[in-house]
A and B are shown apart, each in its own frame.
Chain A
C-alpha cells in the first residue's frame, strides 16, 4: 500500500483504507483526518472502545501482529457485513496500523458462515477431546471438576461465561466449584489476561491446578448451600430430568423458596444433572435400553453467559450435556480408583504387618532357641557350680583360724554366688513359665511393690509418689508375673541410683496406675537424666543395660511379661517428670473379666 494510489481508483473498489496512529487518530492515505471510528465490535462479540486494551487495532499496534475482524450488518449500520483487515506498519510508521475495510459479498458471507460453523464445531470437538483426555489421567475430584468447568468456559470453544458444579448430598446442595468471572469487571480482567497469554486448554488446566489462591467466584460458590426441599420447583424438576434445562430468573420469587440464580447472579442459566452411571451404561449414551436406568444424583452443572448475555447454540448445550455425562463417569471412575487405592493401601498395610509379625516371630524363635540353649547351659553349669560354692562354704567353715586360706575360700564362694545369680537370671528369662491367670488388682499390686521397696527409696533420697484410682484396676493376669514386672522396673530405678555410684541421680519417682475401657497403664517416671540416646531403641532388648555390671535382662523380661499378657512396654522420654518414663500397657477394663490363654 502506498499513497500513490489514485483517489478515483479507490472509489471504484469496495474498500476503505485508513491509518490509525498511536494517538488513535484515523487518517486516509492522503492524510485527511477521519472522525475516530469510536466503537468497534469484534467478531468474538467483545465490545471494545478504540484505544482500550481489547481493541484489536490497539493490540495490533502493540504486538505487531495482523488482526482480522468481521462486523455483522447490524453493527455496521447497513445491510452488508464489513471485514476489517488490520495490518501493523513498520519503519517510521511503527506503532500505527493500516485498516482495510471491505464490504463482504453476501454469497461469500454465507460460505464464510458455513465455514465458521464447521470451524466452531471442530473447536468444540477439540475441546471435548482435550477434556476427556485430561479426565483419563485424573482421580482427584476437584481436579476433575476444574477440568470440566474450564473446558466449558474455554475461549472460543464452548465459551460459556461461567460454569458451576453443585454437589447434592441427600437433601442438601453445596456449591463445590466455579470457574469464570464473578462480575463484568472481573470478566474484562480475566479475558484480557487470557487473550494476552493465549494459553492452550492443557496449559489452562495446569494453571488452574497451580493457582494457590481461590478466585472470587470460587470463594463465592463455596458459601452457597441450601436444602432441596426449599428450592424452587423449577430446579427440582430440572434435577429429575436427564437433559439440559434452561432456568430463568422469575419476575417474582416464591416466599421462603431458594432461588439458585439469585445466588449465582445471573438472569438465565442452563442446568444438567450429574449422575453416577447406571450399570451397563456408557458415557456415549449407548445403553441399549428404551428407558435407561438412572444412576445416583451427585450434583449438577450450571452454566451461564451472565456477562455477554449471548444465547448458547444447541451445539453448545449438547456439549454441556455430554460434559455432564462424562463427569458422571469420571466421578464413578474416581470413586472406584479411590476404593482401589484404599484396598491397595489395606493390602500394603496387611503385608507390612505380616512382615513385622514374621520378623517378630523370627526374633521370638531365635530368642526361644537362645533361651533353650541358655537354659541347658545354665543347668549344666549350675550343678558343678553348686559343688564349687558348696565346698567353698564348707572350706570357709573348716578353715576357721587360718585367715588367709579362709579369705581365699570366701572369695571363691562369693564369685560362685555371683555366677549363680547370673545363671538364675538367664534361666528365668530363657525358659518362660506358664501364666497362672486370675483377676488381679494392679493398683493394689503397685502399692504392695512400692511399699516393699519404700525403705530402699528413702535410703537413696528418692521421694516416690503412688497414684492409683479409687476403684480397683482389674486385669486378667498372673499375679506373680505382674509383681515381677513391677519389681523389675522399680528395682531398675534403685540400681541406677545406688548411693555408692554418685550419690543418687534422681530425686523423684512417680508410680501411676490408670485404667479405661481399652487399656490399663502402669507408668513409672523419674526425674533423672533419662536413658542414654544410644540405648533408646534397644532398651527392651535382652543384654542391653546402662550399667556395666548388669546383665541387661530385667527390662527385656518385663516386656516379655507384658507381651504375654497381651500388652507392651514403651519408653517416653522426656517423661512427665523430665526423665525416663516407662509405660506398661495392658488390656483394659473391657478385657478384664475374660480369660485369655497365655
Chain B
C-alpha cells in the first residue's frame, strides 16, 4: 500500500480518482490547490504525487518545485489537460508527464510503475 496525493482543482475529477484508485488499496489524499498540495505533502509525506498544473492560488509546477525542494525523493506525475507544458523546463522535474484522458489506464500503469521503481 502506498500513500498517493492527488492535486486537482476539479472536484469531480478528485472524486473520480478516488473511485478509480481506492480499490487498489492505496491511501489517497486530495488537494484542490497547489498551496494545499504543498501543505499536505509536508503532513502526509506521500510516496507519490499526481499533480494537475492549472490550479488556483498556486499552479502545479510551482507546488511541485516547493515539494521537491523539501523532499527530493518523492516522485511526481504531472497530469494535465495541456500537452504543451512539456516545453516548460519546470515540468522536467517530474518523473512523468501525462496528458489527461478519461481512460485512466495510462495513469494507472504509470502510477504502478513509478511506485515499483521507488520500491513501494
| Nearest chain A CB to B7 CB, angstrom units | 14
Q: Is B95's CB within 8 Å of the partner chain A?
A: no
| Nearest chain B CB to A425 CB, angstrom units | 12
Chain A residues 377-436 with CB under 8 Å of chain B are 378-379, 382-394, 413, 416-417, 420, 424, 427-428, 431-434
Closest 4 CB pairs between A and B? A389-B102, A387-B12, A390-B16, A382-B81
Q: Flag if A387 contacts B16 (CB, 8 Å).
A: yes
Q: Is B70's CB within 8 Å of the partner chain A?
A: no
Q: Flag if B83 contacts A431 (CB, 8 Å).
A: yes
With A379-B54, A383-B10, A434-B87 as given contacts, are A390 and B104 in contact (CB-CB < 8 Å)? Answer: yes
With A417-B102, A433-B83, A433-B86 as given contacts, are A384 and B20 in contact (CB-CB < 8 Å)? Answer: no
Query: Mind listing 23 A-B residue pairs with CB under 8 Å?
Result: A379-B82, A385-B102, A386-B13, A386-B81, A386-B101, A387-B10, A388-B102, A389-B102, A390-B13, A390-B20, A390-B104, A392-B102, A393-B102, A394-B19, A394-B20, A413-B102, A420-B102, A427-B82, A427-B84, A431-B83, A432-B84, A433-B86, A434-B87
CA distance A383 to B15 in the complex (A): 13
CA distance A379 to B84 in the complex (A): 12
Q: Is B100's CB within 8 Å of the partner chain A?
A: yes
| Nearest chain B CB to A396 CB, angstrom units | 12
B102 CB contact (under 8 Å) in A416, A428, A432, A433: A416
Other 7 A-B pairs with CB < 8 A, given A387-B16, A390-B13: A383-B81, A386-B13, A390-B16, A393-B103, A417-B103, A424-B99, A433-B86
A383 CB contact (under 8 Å) in B13, B84, B86, B103: B13
Within 8 Å CB of A379, what residues of B?
Answer: 54, 81-82
- Nearest A residue (CB) for B88: A434
Within 8 Å CB of B82, what residues of A?
Answer: 375, 379, 427, 431
Enumerate chain B interface residues (CB-CB to A < 8 A).
10, 12-13, 15-16, 19-20, 54, 81-84, 86-87, 99-104
| Nearest chain B CB to A400 CB, angstrom units | 15
Chain A residues 152-175 with CB under 8 Å of chain B are none
Within 8 Å CB of A390, what residues of B?
Answer: 13, 16, 20, 102, 104
| Nearest chain A CB to B6 CB, angstrom units | 13
Q: Flag if A433 contacts B54 (CB, 8 Å).
A: no
Enumerate chain A interface residues (CB-CB to B < 8 A).
375, 378-379, 382-394, 413, 416-417, 420, 424, 427-428, 431-434
- Nearest B residue (CB) for A398: B19
Q: Flag if B83 contacts A387 (CB, 8 Å).
A: no
With A428-B83, A431-B82, A433-B86 as given contacts, are A386 and B20 in contact (CB-CB < 8 Å)? Answer: no
With A378-B81, A379-B81, A386-B101 as given contacts, are A391 and B54 in contact (CB-CB < 8 Å)? Answer: no
- Nearest B residue (CB) for A434: B87
Within 8 Å CB of A384, what residues of B?
Answer: 10, 12
| Nearest chain B CB to A404 CB, angstrom units | 22
Within 8 Å CB of A428, what residues of B?
Answer: 83
Within 8 Å CB of B16, what residues of A?
Answer: 386-387, 390-391, 394
Within 8 Å CB of B20, what residues of A?
Answer: 390, 394
Within 8 Å CB of B83, what residues of A?
Answer: 427-428, 431, 433
- Nearest B residue (CB) for A417: B102
- Nearest A residue (CB) for B16: A390
Within 8 Å CB of A424, what residues of B?
Answer: 99
CA distance A432 to B19 in the complex (A): 34
Most buried by B among A386, A389, A394: A386
Within 8 Å CB of B54, what residues of A?
Answer: 379
- Nearest A residue (CB) for B19: A394
Q: Flag if B13 contacts A387 (CB, 8 Å).
A: yes
Within 8 Å CB of B86, what residues of A?
Answer: 433
Within 8 Å CB of A413, what residues of B?
Answer: 102
CA distance A432 to B102 in the complex (A): 23
| Nearest chain A CB to B31 CB, angstrom units | 16
Within 8 Å CB of A375, what residues of B?
Answer: 82, 84
CA distance A384 to B20 in the complex (A): 16
Q: Flag if A386 contacts B84 (CB, 8 Å).
A: no
CA distance A428 to B84 in the complex (A): 9
CA distance A417 to B87 in the complex (A): 26
B84 CB contact (under 8 Å) in A382, A389, A394, A431: A431
- Nearest A residue (CB) for B102: A389
| Nearest chain A CB to B75 CB, angstrom units | 22
CA distance A505 to B81 in the complex (A): 37
Within 8 Å CB of B81, what residues of A?
Answer: 378-379, 382-383, 386, 427
| Nearest chain B CB to A443 CB, angstrom units | 28
| Nearest chain A CB to B105 CB, angstrom units | 10
Within 8 Å CB of A383, what residues of B?
Answer: 10, 13, 81, 100
CA distance A427 to B101 in the complex (A): 13
Within 8 Å CB of B12, what residues of A?
Answer: 384, 387, 391
Within 8 Å CB of A388, what residues of B?
Answer: 102
Q: Flag if A433 contacts B84 (CB, 8 Å).
A: yes
Within 8 Å CB of B84, what residues of A?
Answer: 375, 427, 431-433
| Nearest chain A CB to B73 CB, angstrom units | 29
A386 CB contact (under 8 Å) in B19, B87, B102: B102
CA distance A424 to B100 in the complex (A): 10
CA distance A387 to B82 in the complex (A): 16
CA distance A420 to B101 in the complex (A): 8
Within 8 Å CB of B99, what residues of A?
Answer: 424
Within 8 Å CB of A385, what residues of B?
Answer: 102
- Nearest B residue (CB) for A413: B102
| Nearest chain B CB to A512 CB, angstrom units | 32
- Nearest A residue (CB) for B12: A387
| Nearest chain B CB to A230 CB, angstrom units | 73
Within 8 Å CB of B19, what residues of A?
Answer: 391, 394
Within 8 Å CB of B87, what residues of A?
Answer: 433-434
- Nearest A residue (CB) for B14: A387
CA distance A382 to B52 in the complex (A): 13
Within 8 Å CB of A431, what residues of B?
Answer: 82-84
| Nearest chain A CB to B117 CB, angstrom units | 25
| Nearest chain B CB to A281 CB, angstrom units | 68
CA distance A417 to B105 in the complex (A): 14
Most buried by A among B10, B19, B81, B87: B81
Within 8 Å CB of A392, what residues of B?
Answer: 102
| Nearest chain A CB to B56 CB, angstrom units | 13
Within 8 Å CB of B101, what residues of A?
Answer: 386, 420
CA distance A428 to B86 in the complex (A): 13
Within 8 Å CB of A387, what residues of B?
Answer: 10, 12-13, 15-16
